[in-house]
Amino acid sequence: MSTALWLLFIQGVMGAFDTLYYHEWRARLPARVPGARPELLLHAARDFFYALLFGTLPWLAWHGAWAGVLGLIIAVEILITLADFVVEDTVRRPLGGVFPGERCTHALMGILYGAVLAHLVPEVLAWARLPTGLVVSPAPIPEPLRLALGLMAAGVFGSGVRDLYAALQLPRGGWPWPAEAASPPGQGAGS
């Protein structure tokens, strides 16, 4: 389990970079609603699932039927990610497509997630054979890693709330990017 959590931490760092640099700074997705709504809704849903993973795996063991719930959460997250790969091509067409560096980041994150699952799935299968319950069972990891994963849970949850807020076109949902300035740096309407 500790290897899965270290890899999940790296996944979180890469995801934060992808979100802050590509989604927020370069594409300014929250300011591009309604065109970006489908992508933002997928991001929000995925963020909420990741918050569950970051927030529970360092502290809880998903025993019995709960292991099936965890497996379902992972499967749905994968389906959301696959849908996002398709939707973002349409949403990003006005920007000239998904940024090449972002595409590479997504590919590396997909490979890394496969490594997370290679280490997590055997643990989940072992949990499935135990009596059903969410059991407080801190993973054998250093406390700073446990704290970092907890902070990542809060951060990715906040990111999901932000994307959902923007997708619903609530007041100032595109903040700090005004809708009329949604073009990436150097690609404004007059460029």
What are the tens digits of pLDDT across the range 139-181? 999 999 999 999 999 999 999 999 999 999 999 999 898 875 4
Q: Report the Cα 12 to chain-centroid distance in Å.
A: 8
- pLDDT tens digit string along 81-131? 999 999 999 999 988 999 999 999 999 999 999 999 999 999 999 999 999
Cα-Cα end-to-end distance for the chain: 50
Average pLDDT over the chain, rounded to an integer: 93
- The structure's pTM equals 0.89
pLDDT at 183: 53
Amino acid occupying residue 91: V
- pLDDT tens digit string along 70-85? 999 999 999 999 999 9
SS3 content of the chain, % helix, strand, coil (to 5): 70, 5, 25
Q: Report the Cα 16 to chain-centroid distance in Å.
A: 8
pLDDT at 86: 95
